[in-house]
Structure 1
Amino acid sequence: MTKNETLFHYTDVSALSSILRNKVLWLTNLGYLNDSQEFHDGVAVVSRVIERLVAREGCVFEQRGGGLAFAQGVLQCYKDCGVWSSLYSCSFSGAGNLLSQWRAYGNYAIEFCREGLESALSLHDCVYDAAAKESLAERVLKPFIEEAEDYMETDFAEDMPGLACLTEKISTFKNEHFAAEHEVRIIGKSDYHMSGVKFRPRGDLLIPYQEISFPVESVVAIHIGPIANQDLAENSLSMLLRSCGLTRVRIVKSDIPFRA
C-alpha cells in the first residue's frame, strides 16, 4: 500500500454521527471483532515458528534457554489467559464500495487520506499470506528471545520493547479468507484497571472500546452504502457535515443495486 492511498472505515449511522461530532475513532476490543479467530491465528503462527527455530538452530537456542522458555511461556499465557482482552483495534479497509464490508459493518464509510491519518497515528497493515506471516514472526522472535534473557529475572517484562513488538505483529496476522478487505489497523492497549475503556451495547452484549482522537482534516469523503432512500440520507448527512464544520468533505453514494 502506498502512503497517498485512501482508507475506508465502514460503520453504522450511529457510530458515524458520533465519530464526526466528537472527532474520535473507536478502538474495539479484539475479542469482539467479526473474526472469531482474532489473535489466535497470530499465536498459532508464532508457535510454529518457534518450533521450527528450535529444530533448525537448537544449539544456538540451548545457550539462550531461558529466553526461549520465556517466549514459550508468553505464548502459552496468550493461549490460556486471552491477552487480547487488553488489546483494541480500529479497522480500515483499502477497498472502497466493497459489498462484504457494507454487509458486515454498516451502511456508511468514512474515507480517510492515509498520509493524513499517519501524521498523528500509527497504522499497521494486516498480513494474510502464510509465508509472509511466518517470515515476519521469525524476524521479530529472534531479537525478542535475546532480549528476554535480560528481562526474565526482573518485574518489568511488560516493558520489554520486544514483547510489545511481538504482540503488535500478532495483532496484525489475519486469516487468509479476509484478504479482500486489505485491512489496516490502529492498535491500542488498556491497562490492568481498564482506565479509559468504555462500553457500548450491541444486542445482549457490552462491547469494550477506547476512543482516540484523529486529524479531522484527513477525512476525504463520506460514502453512503446500497440502502433505500439514499437521497434522504445524503441530505441529512450534508446537514451533519455542515454542523461539524466539515463542508469540504464530499458525499459519495454507492452504485451497488439495492433491493429492500
Structure 2
Amino acid sequence: MTDCFYHYTDAETALKILTKKELWMTHISYLNDTQEGKDLREHLNPKVNNPEIHKILDYIDSHYESYVCSLSKNGDLLSQWRGYCPKGEGYAIGFRQPNFENKEREACFRGEAESNNDAAHAAIQVSEYHRCIYGEEEKESIIEELAEAFEADYKEMPNDIKSIVSQLPKAPLNWKALNGHLNNGLWLKYYSYFKLIFKDETFKEEEEYRLFIIFHNQYKQTPCYRVKKGVFIPYHRFCFNDDIFKEIIVRKTPNEKLSHEGLSHYLKHNKGMTEEKIKDFIKISNIPYRE
C-alpha cells in the first residue's frame, strides 16, 4: 500500500487546493452521512450502566464541536469518482501524511483570519490522517475497553469534578474545571476520537482516513463559512506546504488528454516542476468508465 491519501474533487476545487495549499475541514454536523458521529454512542450506550457517565458523554456531545477532512486510501475508485466529482471531470489529489517537524501544528489549522493570529486553539488536534473503523468485531472490542475505562475513571474522579457532573445537564458553573479534567484524561482523548472514526459498514469501500480538530464551544474560535444548497456551512482550514502533494490521478473523461495538458502546464509554471517530475506526478485513472 502506498503512503498516499486521496481527496476526490472537481477541477475548480483542485485548482484552489493546489494554489492556496489548504484543505477544508467541515463541521461534522454538515457532512453527507446523516449518522455521522452517532455510531459510537449507539454501540456504547448498552454497555454503560452508570447514569453519571451518560451525563458526561451527553455533555461532550453537546459542548464540543468537531471539524473533519476526509480522504481515501484508494485513489482510483469508481464510486468516489461518481460521488465526489461532476460528470465529465475529476481529480484525485494524493497527499502524504502531514509533517509538523518544522512547523507548529497549531499554525496548520486555521479559521477566519483575525489580525496576525488566526491559528486555532483546540481541545484536540490530530497530527496525521486516521483510519476509519467499519467492522463490527473491531468496534465491539473497542467498545468493551472504553466502557470499562469510563467506569474505572469515574470511580477515581475527584469529588469536586463529580459534584460538577451531578449538575448536568444544567450548564455547570465551573465548566473550566470539568473541561480540564475531560481534556487531560481519557474522555476526550478516546471518546471524541473514536466518535469521529466509527463509520457505518456500508461506507467501507471508501477506505476513509480522517484529519480532525475539536473545539469546546465556550472558547473563542472563528470558523470560515461556505454556502452549499442554501446552507451556511462552517469549516476550518488545514494549511500546508507544497511537499505534502505526492501525485494527482486524472479521471478518464472525453477531455482527459486536455485535462492532463492543462494540469501539466499549471504545475510547470506555478510549482516549478520539471517535465520529468510532472510525468511521475500525474497519472490517469485505470477505470475505463466514461460518463
Query: TM-score, normalised to structure 1's length?
Result: 0.80
Equivalent of 2:41, from 39, 43, 50? 43
User: 1:158 and 2:137 equivalent?
Assistant: no
2: CA distance, partners of 1:200 / 1:10: 18
| Cα distance in 2 for residues equivalent to 1:243 and 1:194 | 40
1:178 and 1:77, CA in 2 relative to 1: closer, same or farther beyond 3 A? same
Q: 1:88 to 1:6 in 2, by over 3 A?
A: same
Report the CA distance between 1:194 and its aligned residue.
Answer: 6.4
Aligned-pair CA distance for 1:243 = 4.1
Would you say 1:252 and 2:283 are equivalent positions? Answer: yes
**Separation in 2, partners of 1:228, 1:153:** 66
Change (3 A) 1:109 1:167: same
1:96 match: secondary structure: coil
Q: 2:202 is matched with which residue? A: 177
Matches of 1:153 and 1:246, distance apart in 2: 61
Q: Secondary structure at the match of 2:209?
A: strand
Cα distance in structure 2, aligned partners of 1:217 and 1:46: 40
Equivalent in the alignment of 1:210 = 236
Shift of 1:49: 2.8
**2:94 partner amino acid:** E
- Deviation for aligned residue 1:199: 1.2
- Distance apart, 1:171 and its partner CA: 0.9
The letter for the 1-side match of 2:52 is F
Equivalent in 105, 127, 140 of residue 146 of structure 2: 140
Q: Which secondary structure state, in structure 2, belongs to the residue aligned with residue 39 of structure 1?
A: coil
Selected match of 1:131 from 107, 115, 137: 137
Q: Match of 2:26? A: 28
Q: Which amino acid is 2:252 matched to?
A: P
Corresponding residue for residue 109 of structure 1:
92
Q: Distance in 1 between matches of 2:282 and 2:261?
A: 10
**Structure 2 residue 50 is the aligned partner of structure 1 residue 71:** no
Residue of structure 1 aligned with 2:254, choices 221, 228, 231? 228
The structure-2 alpha-carbon separation of the partners of 1:99 and 1:118, relative to structure 1 and needing over 3 Å to count, comes to: farther
CA 252–118 in structure 1, closer or farther in 2 if over 3 Å, else same = farther
Residue in 1 that maps onto 2:4:
6
Superposed displacement of residue 38, structure 1: 0.7
CA RMSD of aligned residues (A): 2.5
Given residue 205 of structure 1, which amino acid in structure 2 is its aligned partner? V
1:12-48 Cα offsets, whole Å, 9 max, x none, are: 2232222211111111111222211111112111213
How far has the Cα of 1:228 moved from its partner? Answer: 2.8
Tell me the distance in 1 between the aligned counterparts of 2:52 and 2:136.
25
- Counterparts of 2:60 and 2:254, CA distance in 1: 44
3-state SS of 1:152 partner: helix
Cα distance in structure 2, aligned partners of 1:179 and 1:167: 21
Counterparts in 2 of 1:6 and 1:88: CA distance versus 1, 3 Å: same
Query: Of the candidates 193, 205, 225, which is equivalent to residue 199 of structure 1?
Result: 225
Question: Which runs of 5 or more structure 1 residues have no equivalent in the other structure?
Answer: 55-67
SS in 1 for 2:264: helix
Shift in Å at residue 117 of structure 1? 5.2
User: Structure 2: how far apart are the matches of 1:24 and 1:145?
Assistant: 40
Distance in 2 of aligned mates of 1:191 and 1:205: 23
Indicate the structure with greater helix content.
1
Alpha-carbon spacing, 1:111–1:217, altered in 2? closer, same or farther (3 Å): same
* Aligned position for 2:68: 89
Structure 2: state its 5+ residue gaps. 106-126, 165-174
How many Å separate the matches in 1 of 2:216 and 2:15? 28
Using the aligned pairs only, state the percent identity.
Answer: 27
Partner residue of 1:18 out of 16, 35, 41: 16
Q: CA deviation at 1:78?
A: 6.4
Contact 1:47 1:75 in 2 (8 A): no
Q: 1:234 to 1:180 in 2, by over 3 A?
A: same
TM-score (norm 2): 0.72
In structure 1, how many angstroms separate the alpha carbons of the residues matched to 2:208 and 2:137? 18
User: What is the distance in 1 between the residues matched to 2:229 and 2:195?
Assistant: 29
